Each structure stands twice: as C-alpha cells, then as structure tokens.
C-alpha cells in the first residue's frame, strides 16, 4: 500500500484498453494532480482514451521489448504500476495459445525483471498491481462457492494458464526480490467500451444493430447456462485504486460484484431494455468454448474487510449504459 500523499505518478500498462481507459478516467476525476503515464504500442488504437489525451502521457513501448521497458522505468520511476495489459479474450487463447502465453507471462516477467534490475541499481521499489483473473479457478465444485482465494487453481483455457503464470510470477518476485506486488483475481466485469467479443458487449451490439435495421432480428449466442457475478468496470477501477492505497503487498485478492445471473438471465434483462420485439436467439457453435467455466461466484470478503469497498452501480444500470454506448457508436 502507498500513502495517497506519496503518489505523484502512476503507470498504466494497457491504458488504451477497456479497464485501463476507465482507470485513467477515475484518477483524472478524483486525483487530478497525479501524473498518469500509459504504456502503449504505436499501433494500439486510441479510441478509448481520446477524451483523456490532454491529461495522460503516452509512452511507446512493448512488454516483449525489455530495452524499451528499461528506458521508461529508469527515466520515470513511477510510484504505482498498474499492470493491466494482456491478451484477455478467452476463446482466442484456444486458437492462439503461444501468443497468449508470450504476451501475458513473458510480458509480465519482462516488466517485473526490469523493475527488479532498477531496484538493485537505484533502490526503486514501486507498488505493482498484477491483474490476474477469476478464470484461474476454472470449473469449481459446488461446495467451493462462493470462491475464496484459497480455492485450488484449475485453469481451463490457455488464457487461464497464462493468468496463473502471471499471478505466480507476481508472488515469486515478492518472496524472492521483495518487489511490492499485489495481485487481484477480478471476476466478470463489463460496461461501456468493452470489446464486442465479450458477452455483455456483443449482445448489446447485436441488439443495437437490430434496432438500427442493419441486422436481422437474430442474436447469436454461446452457452447461456453459465453463471456469472457481474461488476461494473467503474466500480472495478475504484477497487483497484483502493488496492494500491490500502492493501499490503505480497497478497492476492478476489474482486467482483454481488449480482449473480446466468447468461440467459442477463440476455433477458438486456432484451427488456429495447423496444424491438420478436428477436430470435440462435446458438452459434463458434461461440462455445472447448472447455467452459460455468460457475463464477466470488467471495470478496478478504478485500472488503481491508478496504471497506463495495460496488455501487447496479447491473441494470451497467446494461443500460452499455446499450447506450453502442447506440452512440453505431450510426
């Protein structure tokens, strides 16, 4: 943890992504005097942060290029590092396991190794948030719900394996080199700007395309029986801030919502927010995973007890905001 008055600058890897852009929103709004840097590849789309470009400094680098990371870390010595960059789409990881493992494990190792080297050289030792995932738990047993941090890890996808590796690297660099890593296992989070390959966002986009007459009244879906506990991304980034300012390093914390629905129930809720009627639902085999994780209900007691955090935004509002995001985006 880091005292608020001691935080002068933060680095967000993955700042152009879904969570990274919302985290920059949060810090700009709440702590305008903190300097925000974002690690980005030159080809990364900037759409999610266009409204913040006057308030953030983008640093061009790549997690797979240690020389660029070394230059950035040595020059800026950020007080907090939020490591959010990742290949984060589970189905893609089945067809591209090597890219997923390289980006998420080797990329994380490169970042930690560069910080370790700078610590040895100059004593630099920031708070480092390692963003793991609830996917590391895999298919849990019914008697393991709600899922605590002590539930065995049974990763069921290359993405989940990569996040186990990232998680354990964070722990190892803490016990071996005393880097101040804090790990999170975030459960299902969604909201405006979520990529359209993710379940809430893809349903919302399809509904809006039907509303605008550019899609037939058919929604393509995967497994509707999976159970998820949903959290709004804007609550999630608030939790991330509390994590680095209140939680001790070396620990791991579940973060997640309190509203649990099946994917089918979520879709029905979304359909209640549109005036379009007689929309058909069709299973798309390409949306089914080779091995699925169908029961994700977290215990966030450990994190809540330390921080006092609890989600504020109702899932119904998240659904409405996500639909409106796509209504504004699609012409």
295 versus 303: the higher-pLDDT residue is 303
| Predicted pLDDT of residue 4 | 85
Q: Which pLDDT band holds residue 5 (cuts at 50, 70, 90)?
A: confident
- Mean confidence (pLDDT) of the chain: 96
Residue 291: pLDDT above 80?
A: no
Domain 199-226+260-296+319-329 superfamily per CATH: UDP-galactose 4-epimerase, domain 1 (3.90.25.10)
- Cα separation, 269 vs 194, in Å, equals 18
Indicate the pTM of the whole model: 0.96
| Token code pair at residue 20 | 């990274």
Q: Which pLDDT band holds residue 28 (cuts at 50, 70, 90)?
A: very high
Residue from 130, 116, 118, 26 nearest 77 by CA: 118
Contacts of 75 (CB under 8 A, 6+ apart): none
Give the number of other CB atoms < 10 A from CB of residue 272.
9
| Predicted pLDDT of residue 268 | 97
Contacts of 271 (CB under 8 A, 6+ apart): 207, 279
Q: Where are the domains of the chain?
A: 4-191+231-256+297-312, 199-226+260-296+319-329
Fold of 4-191+231-256+297-312: Rossmann fold (3.40.50)
At 83-129, the pLDDT tens digits run 999 999 999 999 999 999 999 999 999 999 999 999 999 999 999 99
Q: What is the DSSP string of 134-191?
A: GGGG-S--GGGPSBPTTSPP---SHHHHHHHHHHHHHHHHHHHH--EEEEEEE--EE-
At 142-161, the pLDDT tens digits run 999 999 999 999 999 999 99
């Amino acid at each position: 943890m880091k005292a608020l008055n001691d935080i002068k600058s933060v680095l967000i890897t993955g700042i152009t992504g879904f969570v990274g852009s919302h985290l920059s929103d949060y810090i700009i709004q709440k702590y305008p005097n903190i300097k925000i840097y974002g690690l980005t590849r030159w080809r990364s789309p900037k759409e999610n942060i266009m409204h913040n470009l006057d308030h953030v400094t983008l640093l061009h680098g790549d997690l797979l290029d240690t020389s660029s990371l070394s230059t950035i870390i040595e020059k800026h010595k950020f007080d907090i590092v939020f490591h959010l960059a990742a290949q984060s789409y589970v189905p893609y990881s089945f067809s591209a396991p090597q890219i997923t493992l390289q980006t998420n494990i080797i990329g994380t190792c490169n970042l930690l190794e560069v910080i370790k080297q700078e610590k040895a050289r100059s004593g630099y030792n920031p708070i480092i948030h390692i963003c793991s995932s609830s996917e590391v738990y895999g298919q849990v047993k019914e008697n393991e719900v709600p899922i605590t941090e002590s539930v065995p890890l049974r990763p069921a996808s290359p993405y989940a394996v990569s996040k186990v590796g990232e998680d354990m690297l964070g722990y190892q660099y803490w016990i071996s080199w005393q880097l101040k890593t804090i790990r999170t296992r975030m459960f299902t989070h969604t909201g405006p700007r979520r990529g359209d390959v993710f379940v809430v966002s893809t349903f919302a986009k399809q509904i809006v395309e039907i509303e605008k007459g550019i899609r037939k009244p058919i929604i393509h879906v995967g497994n509707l029986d999976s159970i998820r506990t949903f959290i709004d991304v804007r609550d999630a980034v608030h939790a991330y801030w509390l994590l680095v300012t209140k939680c001790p390093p070396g620990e791991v914390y579940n973060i997640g919502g309190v509203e649990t629905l099946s994917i089918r129930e979520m879709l029905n809720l979304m359909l209640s927010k549109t005036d379009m009627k007689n929309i058909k639902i069709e299973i798309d085999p390409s949306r089914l995973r080779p091995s699925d994780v169908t029961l994700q209900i977290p215990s966030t007691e450990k994190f809540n007890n330390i921080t006092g955090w609890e989600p504020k935004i109702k899932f119904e509002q998240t659904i409405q905001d996500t639909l409106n995001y796509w209504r504004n985006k699609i012409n």
